[in-house]
Amino acid sequence: MDGRSDHGASSSRRGAGESVITDYGLYRSSCGYCRSGGRTSLSHGLGADRITVDDYQELLDRGWRRSGMFLYKPDMERTCCRLYTIRLKADEFVAAKEQARVSRRMQRFLDGNLCLKKADLANGQQAAPNALSTDSSNQSPNIWASETLMKESSTDTCSITHELDQYDRNLSVNIDIAVSTCIKHSVLPSTVNFPQASVKRVVPQMKKKLHNIARDLLYTCSIAFQIAAAIRRSSVEKEFTPAYVAEKLAEAMDLQGEFSDLSVRACNGHLNFYSERKQASSDKLSCTVVTSVKSPQGNAANAKRKCLLDDKSPSQVKKKKLEIRMSRSSFDPEEFALYQRYQIKVHNDKPDHLDESLYRRFLVESPLIFVPPAGDGTVPSCGFGSFHQQYLIDGKLVAVGVVDVLPRCLSSKYLFWDPDFAFLSLGKYSALQEINWVKETGILCPSIQYYYLGYYIHECGKMRYKASYSPSELLCPLRYQWVPFHIAKPLLDKKPYVVLSDFIGLEKESDLPCQTEAHSASQPSLISEEEEDEVLSDGDEQLMVEFDCSDSGADDNTSSELLNEVEHGDVNNIKIRMSNKTLLFKDLVQAFGPIKCIRSLKMQLHGYKTVVGSALSERMIYWLDSHFLWQSLSHSEFSRVADD
């Protein structure tokens, strides 16, 4: 007689307790997604005192979403922007080029081989190099060295690379000293003005052209050609070939004996500098002189050069450690401080608007009943519930992902990150990590297969990036079936609201029916292409939604429709909680006698059953607040119920 379904029994086995919710009906609020002023977002709202993970999973698959303790579902036929639930099956995910690039960029950063360009440092990112350590004196400039540094005549290197360039200049100075030594010993004529040497790093593309026989080649200098040309232009009778000049300079540098871990060789007129560790592997080159030189700056200079060694050589770069921690949702002062910085610098929020209580409401509080880990493969090692996924680099918190772990998925709710690390596209990177988490967790807990990205809004350019995680699918707003995005996209290009399940099975755009109804003039405008690129590069995730409780309730049309249907609607088995008493709707009259607002309550329950589904409406407990009781019962009845 308690109306519990088989599914409800399964739900209670996952965790103690039952779902208890309050129905707020329809809510109107200003749209937080489009840019058209005055637009109205119309959504159904539920307040969740507590909810099981199974019940919330079912709500997700009916288009619901949570913001703190509040659950909401857009009225797709009448709201401003259409919010389609989007997900992807993790095992089928194929990374796009840009997504793979984000992963490689992060790996280069962790390996100490990433260089920032001026554009990366434009928006206050200069603090990034020292942001990983409280002792900036320990920061090695080699952490920013990369392919960008190895391009000849590069003019787009950041100020951080100047220390690395100093090592190039040190080599050049030592070549000039070798030239002076040759002049002093009459190896080169003293009557000619010779140009200064300029050492250049060898670009990876050039190494490939050499068929990898000079993978240990780090620097080169063509000063011997310039010296030979200067002698030819002078009145000196004796001619010098570049090969001869290069040999003599290499011998002179050997006498200096100032560089360690490098060897200099005269190769066809070029002065080439190699990693001493790979000297043997380069014997195939036609070099006539092989000598060793030592560094004038010892280990300090080596630290600036070691990132330039071949990938297969033992790396001396101090690598960074990325740690991802999954912890149950709770308030953390460090996270809150990071959230404030993110909102101020990325979303231009005012500091006085970033109240701790609001932060707790949206990103800390959760109605999900935690389910502890199980060893039988039905629950993952972290358990089911709401979590904060922390991203730490060398112990420093750089990003926090707010997620829900549910029986069939990981649902991404929000992400905030350190603005100093915007160059790492942490939004995209975290999404890739969350997808990977689903893949790995699904091995031990097979029920978890999907990654939910929240809402996809075709009218809003800021939210379209979610479809780039492919192959994704959208939820049909009427029949709650999942439809591949490649089928949904051409439909949404022509019409903002589509019953997607009508087109399941049509694989080609040519198979789709011609839709003549275009977007009306009242539709919200899209953001510009430049703004969309900015959002994508920043990896910005989802927007938080806050509903205005002062403007709620169904409109007159909805009420009249429900009046026509309520007589035929079966809400008898919905469980009602009044004060501390829980009973079925059909038992209300028997328990309390005539209730003045019984028809109004039945209408309300009918609308509730429509939006949450028949099974959930009979499984979750529907909370009636004391305001309804006061309106519906006599004073004596109200007092009796309150006392109970």
**Structural domain spans, the chain:** 6-94+321-511, 148-308, 556-643
CATH of domain 148-308: 3.30.1360.70
What mean pLDDT is predicted for residues 71-94? 92
* 197-231 residue pLDDT tens: 888 888 776 666 655 556 678 888 999 999 988 88
* 144-182 residue pLDDT tens: 333 333 333 333 334 434 444 666 778 888 898 889 888
Long-range contacts of the stretch 54-58 (C-beta < 8 A, 24+): 54/7, 54/10, 54/11, 54/14, 54/407, 55/11, 55/19, 55/616, 55/619, 55/620, 56/19, 56/367, 56/368, 56/404, 56/406, 57/406, 57/407, 57/408, 57/409, 58/613, 58/615, 58/616
Q: Is 65 helix (H, G, I), strand (E, B) or coil?
A: strand
Indicate whether 16 pLDDT > 70. no
Indicate whether 515 pLDDT > 80. no
More confident call, 120 vs 152: 120
Provide the mean pLDDT of the chain: 75
Least confident piece of the model among 54-58, 108-112, 121-125, 451-455:
121-125
Which string of DSSP letters, residue by residue, matches 163-228? HHHHHHHHHHHHHHHHHHHHHHTTSS-TTS-PPPP--EEPPHHHHHHTTTTTTTEEEEE-HHHHHH
Which pLDDT band holds residue 128 (cuts at 50, 70, 90)?
very low
Indicate whether 71 pLDDT > 90. yes
* 296-320 residue pLDDT tens: 344 444 443 343 333 444 445 689 9
Which pLDDT does position 626 carry in this prediction?
Answer: 56
Indicate whether 189 pLDDT > 50. yes
Indicate whether 28 pLDDT > 70. yes
43-47, 402-406, 459-463, range with greatest mean pLDDT: 402-406
* pTM of the predicted model as reported, rounded to 2 decimal places: 0.65
Which pLDDT does position 406 carry in this prediction?
Answer: 98
* 412-428 residue pLDDT tens: 999 999 999 999 999 99
Q: Is 25 helix (H, G, I), strand (E, B) or coil?
A: strand
Which pLDDT band holds residue 34 (cuts at 50, 70, 90)?
low
Which pLDDT band holds residue 38 (cuts at 50, 70, 90)?
low
- The 8-class DSSP code of residue 387 comes to E
Indicate whether 376 pLDDT > 60. yes
Residue 417 pairs with which residues in a beta bridge? 399
On whether the CB atoms of residues 28 and 17 are closer than 8 A, the answer is: no
